[in-house]
Amino acid sequence: MNTKEWIIEQSDFSDHSKNGLMESLFTMGNGFLGLRGNFPLIPSAEEKGTFINGFFESGPITYGEKAYGYADNWQTIVPLPEGKNVEFEADGLPLFAEGLSSGNLYRQLNLKEGSTHWSFTLQDRKGRKYKGRILILIPFNTRGVVRFQWRISAPDSVKTLVIKSSVQPEKKEGTETDDPRLPGHFDGSTLTGSLLENKEHSLYALHAQGSGLSAYCSMDNRVDGLAGLKVRNESNHTGLLEIIEGSPMGEVTLEKTVSYNFGPADDSGPVIAGLLKELESVAQHTTEELMAGHKAFMELFWKNSDVLIEGDSEAQLSLRYNLFQLLQSAGRDSRSSIAAKGLSGSGYEGHYFWDAETYVLPFFIYTNPDVARSMLKYRISIVPAAEKRAGKLSHKGILFPWRTINGEECSAYYPAGTAQYHINSDIALGLASYIDVTGDDSLLNEGGDKLLAGTARFWCDLGTYVDGKGFCFHSVTGPDEYTAIVDNNYFTNLCARENLRSAARLLENRVDEEERLSWIRRADEIYLPEEGGVTPQDDSFLEKEKWDFANTDKSSYPLLLHYHPLSIYRKQVLKQADVIMAQALFPSELSKEQMKRNFDYYEQVTTRDSSLSACAQGISAFHLGYGDLAWEYFNETLHTDRKDLHGNVSHGLHTAAMGGSFLMIIKGFLGLESHPGSFFFKPALPDRLKSISLQLKLKESTLRIVLEQKRVLYKSVSGTAEFFHYGKKIRLDEEKEESFLIPERVSVEFTLFRPKT
């Protein structure tokens, strides 16, 4: 095993301008609790952050001019009290007051084990030298617990060592910004803290007055290696503080356990009881014992999820990093999902978007379906709110929010928010894909039937039949947010059709038969332009003047930060793939000739301002033989975060791009297309790689695939696997394998006729 392909490391801490980037990259979490990589050893932090998936504050959106049906309240994830804080004093001298030499400070994030390790050396003002190690662990088999293990060796001359272990609330400060990706309106004034006393532990409570939620935290400190131990609890309304004092005997070990939980402020009893029970249970275990259970979880995850890349170590490391962060970010409690930034920062305010189902859900469906099921259960849980939202907008059925935490729409800008009705089909098709790939239709009995029926009824109500055209959808916005409020967005229409067909297929004998048949008829009537020429993104897109790329300076990207929306909407310019996204997700919908015409055209007017776009463009480029361009896009979506390609990782990671790196492998390189009950592979390997190997869960089987330049091997690891390889039906019983030659591919060079953005 090449250990370098499992390790994210940092040894140079001299450039403080990179602190925000590193804080995001070294994020740790377990789907419920997330910690940014700031730490006391680093003198300054760009954004301290400890977050709970689903804990937020809310308040009225301030509009200069408000109209009926606008979103009422903003929602934003808020940082919890920081439990990372530990201070040491040796004979009255603060050990970290002078900072640390960057040459003696090192940390690594071990992706295989799922833990962060620090090492350091320092000397105090008397010249005495100390060595230390730290391990940080957020066990996946716990809910809201983090363990910090400090080991520090003090010289014999040190008589008294004082440890100050605290949990301190962070001051939230609002900032004015024109960047819609950043939080700017919340100053923390509606958050209040209080100290709660328990016979065993002190607790700190953080109350979010607007959302009616309260978060609670407590800690347990256990020390070994100090003689004459004295412990004082000095917790108060400003936070939790425990002071531990004694004489060091060789290496001193501090095992600090911090536990978090949250819930409705008016029902705190069960929340606090659950927190304390978990804290007491975990605190009695050594870090080594916790690591053993955690490693077992991680071993199973990597067994199901690892993608082995031979021929590019950088690609291997970034892919593993991406998959690891997806695991850390996705809620597994059926009450949360995965935010655009995961649990790595407050960017996009902790909201769930279409990213969750379109980009991330496929990874979990094919590798860890239990996580996918949980994500879908969250969407099912907010169906009542979606039904209410649809009624508010005078629609039948349900309408999911474009961005949300608790199920209510919180997007203040409706042209690029509420108007993105395709969110309904993104979610519905995610549910349909889960059922088709796993064979588990039990979600239909747990509210999934209402989700599918509600989205189908919505589409039937939203559209209008136009003579000579068909069933049309007016005043909608597709994935491309540089084009808004248009008629017949191709992506939206195609997804609506598939939504209706999936609902009709999966809800047979579950809804009124006449209504079910009406969905099929409506699906068949939906307007989609015939092949020939370029598939229009919408009814008016091809009529517009093209954006003047030649006279747009590189500093003017992303355009959304430098031009009024109307100036952008009036031009042929894309923030991200739209028609190309549709043909990446539904490659059988159009002929290869049509897809090539579309790609060649839209590639010339797509800015790549969005991190969501690269995987869709890469999948299409690979299918069309544009090998070099496809490889470029693969590297873009693959390295978006680890190499900070968009220059904004300091605000948080890009979970959609991370999911996109896996999507490009299965839909691009493996050529996987799933239809109800059937799986079709058309594999081919990029020229720059020697092999890719992974395993996918297909219904009740697990299929291992080893793709090389000229050959592909399929092996059924468990169950009987049935699939198609380039149109040939294959059946493999358990432990059976079969290999095939790969048809030759002709690589074509793509020419961009405008300045590269």
CATH of the domain at 8: 2.70.98.40
Residues 248 and 368 grouped into a single domain:
no
Among 272, 301, 330, the domain-final residue is: 301
What is the per-residue pLDDT for 532? 86
Q: Is 575 annotated as a binding residue?
A: yes
- 664 and 709 Cβ atoms separated by less than 8 Å: no
SS3 707: strand
How does pLDDT run across 615-668, given as a tens digit for each residue? 999 999 999 999 999 999 999 999 999 999 999 999 999 999 999 999 999 999
- Number of domains the chain contains: 2
Integer Cα distance of 556 and 742 in angstroms: 44
Residues 125 and 229 grouped into a single domain:
yes
- Strands of the sheet containing 308-310, edge to edge, are 308-310, 691-698, 701-708, 711-718, 737-741
Residues labelled as active-site residues: 481
How does pLDDT run across 28-42, given as a tens digit for each residue? 999 999 999 998 887
Specify which residues 129 forms β-bridges with: 123
Residues 576 and 525 grouped into a single domain:
yes
How does pLDDT run across 552-585, given as a tens digit for each residue? 999 999 999 999 999 999 999 999 999 999 999 9
Residues 264 and 366 grouped into a single domain:
no
What is the per-residue pLDDT for 405? 98
What is the per-residue pLDDT for 176? 58
Residues 47 and 145 grouped into a single domain:
yes
Q: Within a domain: residue 751?
A: no
Q: Within a domain: residue 744?
A: no
Residues 269 and 329 grouped into a single domain:
no
Average pLDDT, the chain: 95
Task: Answer whether residue 757 shows pLDDT above 60.
Answer: yes
Phi, psi (degrees; rounded to nearest 5) at 664: -65, -30
Residues 375 and 361 grouped into a single domain:
yes
Residues 206 and 355 grouped into a single domain:
no
- 50 and 83 Cβ atoms separated by less than 8 Å: yes
Task: Answer whether residue 238 shows pLDDT above 70.
Answer: yes
Q: Within a domain: residue 702?
A: no
Q: Within a domain: residue 736?
A: no
What is the per-residue pLDDT for 179? 59
How does pLDDT run across 189-226, given as a tens digit for each residue? 999 999 998 878 899 999 999 999 999 999 999 999 99
What is the per-residue pLDDT for 31? 98
Task: Answer whether residue 249 shows pLDDT above 80.
Answer: yes
Residue with tokens 């010339």: 604
Residues 150 and 240 grouped into a single domain:
yes
Residues 344 and 218 grouped into a single domain:
no
What is the per-residue pLDDT for 122? 86
Q: Within a domain: residue 495?
A: yes
Q: For residue 215, give the H/E element and its range.
A: strand 213-233
Among 279, 301, 323, the domain-final residue is: 301
Integer Cα distance of 459 and 451 in angstroms: 13
Q: State mean pLDDT over 9-30.
A: 95
pLDDT bucket at 185, cuts 50 / 70 / 90: low
Q: Is 10 annotated as a binding residue?
A: no
Integer Cα distance of 305 and 308 in angstroms: 10
Among 275, 301, 327, the domain-final residue is: 301
Amino acid, single-letter form, for residue 322: N
Q: Find the domain containing 502 and state its range.
A: 306-692
Q: Within a domain: residue 102?
A: yes
What is the per-residue pLDDT for 230? 95
How does pLDDT run across 467-506, given as a tens digit for each residue? 999 999 999 999 999 999 999 999 999 999 999 999 999 9
Residues 594 and 673 grouped into a single domain:
yes
What percent of the chain stands above pLDDT 70? 96
Task: Answer whether residue 103 shows pLDDT above 70.
Answer: no
- 435 and 441 Cβ atoms separated by less than 8 Å: yes
Query: Residue 401: which CATH number?
Result: 1.50.10.10
Residues 336 and 350 grouped into a single domain:
yes
Q: Within a domain: residue 732?
A: no
Q: Within a domain: residue 335?
A: yes
Task: Answer whether residue 754 shows pLDDT above 70.
Answer: no
Q: Is 576 annotated as a binding residue?
A: yes
Q: Is 553 annotated as a binding residue?
A: no
